[in-house]
Amino acid sequence: MLAAADTARDFVPLVNLARMLVTGANPAAHDRRLGRELERGAHDFVLDVGCGQALVLRYARPRRYVGLDLHRPSLDRARRKRGRPGVELVEADITRTDLGAWRGADVAIVSNVLHHLTDDEAVALLDRIATAVQPERILVQDAEPAGALAPVVRALDGGAHLRGRAQLAAMLRARFAVREVAEWRNPLRSFTYFLLELRRPPAAA
């Protein structure tokens, strides 16, 4: 039974459809907000840590884009749909990979990743990005299930460490200057989405 579930998760269009039915909105639409925020600052070189299908490339066109993810079917779909010169998609475990190879990226994206990590793991990942890559800013997008569909959403997404915007921002303020960019709900009100911008304080840079 578990093998069948894993196989189903590898069929990316089916996963996209299931998420759309549960959330009442196309998950790709949320990357429109991320793309707009990305373009508000320097974004010539973008590192997307946990890129999935690289959906942000539907709404932004950096000169150089490097996406890292461990899910090969999502990367394969991204290559077919969004591959072009300047786009590099790398199969990698973001919790272990040496990120120093991409030092100098203008901005790093961490979208729908942190709720899969413990508090310590999430902070460690962001610290590694800030230290090894030294981007001007880190854009963090995540979501918290809400309402009657919350248990279904949790089971579908597999996010074991779900945090709200205020909780995550408070957790990160010891290490980063945090700007709360936006918070919004989906049509079925089964998700509260949010977007944060992180920068290293001058004393810690």
User: What would the pLDDT profile of 184-200 be if each residue is shown by its tens digit?
Assistant: 776 666 678 899 999 99
Encode pLDDT of 124-154 as tens digits.
Answer: 999 999 999 999 999 999 887 766 666 766 6
Give the separation between CA 104 and CA 163, rounded to whole angstroms: 29
Which structural domains are found in the chain, ordered by start? 2-204 (3.40.50.150)
The C-alpha atoms of residue 158 and residue 106 are separated, in whole angstroms, by: 30
> Where does residue 151 rank: exposed (0-12), middle (13-18), buried (19+ CB within 10 A)?
exposed
What predicted TM-score, i.e. pTM, was given to this entire model?
Answer: 0.82
Of residues 174, 177, 54, 170, the one with CA closest to residue 112:
54
Confidence (pLDDT) at 76 = 95
Q: What does the pLDDT look like over 6-30, one tens digit per residue?
A: 444 444 454 554 455 444 445 556 6
Return d(Cα 73, Cα 51) in angstroms, integer. Answer: 12
User: What is the reported pLDDT for 157?
Assistant: 56
